[in-house]
Amino acid sequence: MAETNENRSSLPVDEYISHHRGNYEAFHKMSLEKPDEFWNEHANIIDWYSKWDKVLDDSNPPFFRWFTNGKLNVTYNALDRHLKSHRRNKAAFIWVGESGKEKIVTYHGLLKRVNAFAKALQDAGLKKGDKIAIYMPMIIEATVAMLGAARIGVAFTLVFSGFGANALADRITDCGAKIVVTADGANRGGKLIDLKKIVDEAVELASTVEEVIVVRNTENKVEMVEGRDYWYHEITADQNVFVEPERMDSNDALFILYTSGTTGKPKGVVHGNGGYSVWVANTLKWAFNPQEDDRWWCAADIGWVTGHSYIVFAPLLLGLTSVIYEGAINYPEPDRMWDIIERYGVNLLYTSPTAIRMLMRYGDLYPAKHDLDSLRVLGTVGEPINPAAWQWYFKTIGKSRCPIVDTYWQTETGGFIISPATQLGVGSLKPGSATFPMPGIDPVILDEAGKELGDNTKGFIAIKRPWPGLMLGLNNDPERYKSVYFSKFPGKYYNGDYAMRDSDGYYWLLGRADEVIKVSGHRIGTIEIEDALVSMKEVAESAVFGKPDAVKGEAVVAFVITKEGVTADKALIEKLKKGIRETMGPILVPDEIHFVKAVPKTRSGKIMRRVVKAVYTGQIPGDVSTLENEASVAEIQEAINILRKQSEK
C-alpha cells in the first residue's frame, strides 16, 4: 500500500477539528439493531399518500425492496408541500451563469414550471412508465425536466453534457427514451458547446426518439426539425396549469443513470422513488446539518449522481435554497468559486478533491480576496481526498472552523454511505478519512477470499446489508446486477473499492480495485476508451489505464497497436483524439496516446492493463508470476520489453 494510515494519522492532533461526539454511535447502532423501528421513523422525512406494508422486503435478494406498497410523489415532496408553509416564496434555486447573470426561482415558481413541463409531456402523449432523456447544461430547466417527468411517473435519464453523440445514443437506446430534452447550447470556460448538434447526431443513431425539446439558453442558432423539434418556451408557455402528481409506488423507477464498469457498455443504474428519497434527504441532513435559512452549493455537475441527489432531490426535499452554477469554477478568474460564495453568502459548500487541488494551485491570494465567513460546513466527494488538499480546504477556505465532510458513495448507493455526520456528532475528523458509516450502513473490509480483515489492513470494502438508497437494479439486466455487485462476495454488496479501517474505527477509502478510473472525479471504465479506440479503423488493439495526476487524480493513458500499413505518427494521435471527442465526448479523450507493437495479455487474451501501467510508471509489474501458465508470462515479459524499448527511444 502506497499511502498508509500510519503516515496519515501521524499528523499533529491540532490539525484535526474536534467535534462533540454526540449521539452518532447510539444512532448508528440503533439503525442496525432495530432497522424497522429506525426506518419507520426516518421515512417520515417525506410525506406519503399511503404508508408501506413492510420497511424492507428482502425475500428476493439481491432485489431488495424498501417501503413496499408505500405511495408517494417526489415532486409533491420537493415542491407542493413547501407551498403550504413559509417556504412558498423562498428561493429554491439561485442560478448563476458564467457571465455573472443570475436568476432566482422560488418554490412556487419552480412548481409552476414543473407543472407546465409535465403538461407538455402529457400533451406529447407520455404517461407513467415512459422514459425521457435529458442532455442539458447546468440550468434551471434541467431540474424542471427531471421533476416534470417525475411528476407524471416518467423516468428520466440525464446524460452528462461532456458525453458525445454515440455515448448519448447508447443511453437513449438502452432506456428507450421517447423524448430528448436539450438546450441550444451550453457555456463553459468562455466557449459555446453546441448541444443541439450532438443531439441531432444521437437521434439519428437512436430509433426510439419521437420528439426533441430545446431550451433557449444561448444565442446559438440551431436547426429545428419540423414535426420533431419543439422550443421549450413555446410548449410551456402556459404556466398556470396544475398537473396532479402521479401516485408512485415506492419501488417504481424515478431515474436511470448510466455509469461505468469494468466490462461492456455503461450500466443503467435504476433508482426508485421511496427508498431513494428517504435516503438522500436523511443523509444530507445527517452529514451537513443544513439549517432553514442556509444557502447550499453543490458544485458538481447535474449529469452525475452527485448532481441528481444533492443539487436536485435532497435539497428540494428538505426545502433548502441552493446555488446552481453554469460554468467553469476558474472562469473568468481563478477566484470564481470564492466570489460566488461571498456574493451569495454560501453556508454549505460541496465540491470535489479535483476542484480543491486545482484552486489550491492558484495560491491563497484568490480566496483571501473574499469574505468566506458565511461558510459553516465544507464537503467533498468523488475520489479520495489527499491530506494536503484536505488541510488547505480546512485551513485556507474554512479558516479551521468548518468541518470537512468527506462523503464516500457511488452512483449505485444513491447517497452518502460513509461520511462524517455533523448533525449527529462524530468526534474528531482525520484528514483523508471519510470517517464512519452513515446510519443503516454496515461495512466490512474483506480479503480476496471474502475473509473479514482486522483493523489497519487494506482490503475490499463491501456492505453487509441493503439500505434504502441502494439502486433497484440495472435497467433490463437483472443478471448483470447480481453478477456485478453481489457475486464476488455472495450476500454482500461490493462495487470495486479498496479501503481500510483504522484502530479508531475510521474508514479510509484507498481507490478503485478494478479497471475503473477516476479522472477529475469522473468515473470512467478503461474498457469504454479501449472500445472507442478500437472502433476506429486505424486501431487494432489498445490498453488504457490511469496514471497518477496531481490535480485530476488520474489522467488517461492509452497504448495503441495500429493495424497493418497504418502510419503511427503524431497526426494519427490527433486524429484518434478527435475521433473519440466526436463520438464519445471530451470526457473520454486520453491525455496521452502511445503506439506499441504489442500489449501484455494473458493467454486467454485479457489485456493486462495493470502490467502496462506498472511498466509505464516504472514500477515492478507485480505478481505476473501468478498467471496461470508460463506462456502467458513470457508473452507479458516480451511485451514489457517492447514497451521499455519504446520508452527509451
Residues that bind ligand PRX (CB under 6 A): 259, 304-306, 381-384, 406-411, 434, 495-497, 509, 512, 518, 523
Q: Output the smallest distance, CB 381 to ligand PRX, in A.
A: 5
* Rounded Cα distance, 205 and 198, in Å: 11
Helix (H, G, I), strand (E, B) or coil at 560: strand
Q: How far is CA 373 from the centre of its chain?
A: 29
Question: Which of residues 232 and 408 has its CB atom nearest to ligand PRX in the complex?
Answer: 408
Q: How many CA atoms lie within 13 A of 403 on its CB side?
A: 24
Q: What is the dihedral of CA 149, 153, 154, 159, to 10 degrees?
A: 60
Q: How far is CA 204 from the centre of its chain?
A: 28
Question: Which of residues 359 and 519 has its CB atom nearest to ligand PRX in the complex?
Answer: 519
Which uninterrupted H or E stretch holds 8? helix 5-9
Q: Output the smallest distance, CB 1 to ligand PRX, in A.
A: 15
Q: State in Å, rounded, how far the first CA of the chain is from the last one.
A: 31
Q: Output the smallest distance, CB 511 to ligand PRX, in A.
A: 6
Cα–Cα distance list, 112 to 399, 450, 483 (Å): 40, 52, 43
CB 610 within 8 A of CB 621: yes
Query: Of 93, 175, 78, 95, which Cα lies nearest the Cα of 135?
Result: 175
Question: Which of residues 118 and 381 has its CB atom nearest to ligand PRX in the complex?
Answer: 381
Length, in residues, of the chain: 649
Question: Which of residues 82 and 609 has its CB atom nearest to ligand PRX in the complex?
Answer: 609
* Rounded Cα distance, 41 and 39, in Å: 5
Question: Which of residues 77 and 306 has its CB atom nearest to ligand PRX in the complex?
Answer: 306
Which uninterrupted H or E stretch holds 115? helix 107-123
Q: Output the smallest distance, CB 214 to ligand PRX, in A.
A: 28
Q: Output the smallest distance, CB 147 to ligand PRX, in A.
A: 21
Question: Which of residues 304 and 506 has its CB atom nearest to ligand PRX in the complex?
Answer: 304
Question: Which of residues 305 and 557 has its CB atom nearest to ligand PRX in the complex?
Answer: 305
Question: Which of residues 384 and 431 has its CB atom nearest to ligand PRX in the complex?
Answer: 384
Q: Output the smallest distance, CB 640 to ligand PRX, in A.
A: 28
* Rounded Cα distance, 178 and 167, in Å: 17
Query: Of 510, 521, 518, which Cα lies nearest the Cα of 358?
Result: 521
Q: Output the smallest distance, CB 241 to ligand PRX, in A.
A: 35
Phi, psi of 117 (to 5 degrees): -70, -40
Cα–Cα distance list, 368 to 319, 362, 373 (Å): 32, 12, 11
Question: Which of residues 48 and 408 has its CB atom nearest to ligand PRX in the complex?
Answer: 408
Question: Which of residues 153 and 431 has its CB atom nearest to ligand PRX in the complex?
Answer: 431
Question: Which of residues 383 and 635 has its CB atom nearest to ligand PRX in the complex?
Answer: 383
Question: Which of residues 107 and 350 has its CB atom nearest to ligand PRX in the complex?
Answer: 350
* Rounded Cα distance, 163 and 581, in Å: 8
Q: Output the smallest distance, CB 602 to ligand PRX, in A.
A: 25
Q: Output the smallest distance, CB 304 to ligand PRX, in A.
A: 6
Q: Output the smallest distance, CB 128 to ligand PRX, in A.
A: 27
For CA atoms 103, 104, 106, 107, give the dihedral sign. positive
CB 67 within 8 A of CB 268: no
Q: Output the smallest distance, CB 379 to ligand PRX, in A.
A: 9
* Rounded Cα distance, 66 and 54, in Å: 7
- Please name the amino acid found at residue 237: A
Q: Output the smallest distance, CB 24 to ligand PRX, in A.
A: 18
Question: Which of residues 356 and 589 has its CB atom nearest to ligand PRX in the complex?
Answer: 356
Q: Output the smallest distance, CB 411 to ligand PRX, in A.
A: 3
DSSP string, 147-184: HHHHHTT-EEEE--TTS-HHHHHHHHHHHT-SEEEEES
* Rounded Cα distance, 26 and 312, in Å: 30
Burial 557-571, CB ≥16 within 10 A → b, else e: bbbbbbeeeeebeee
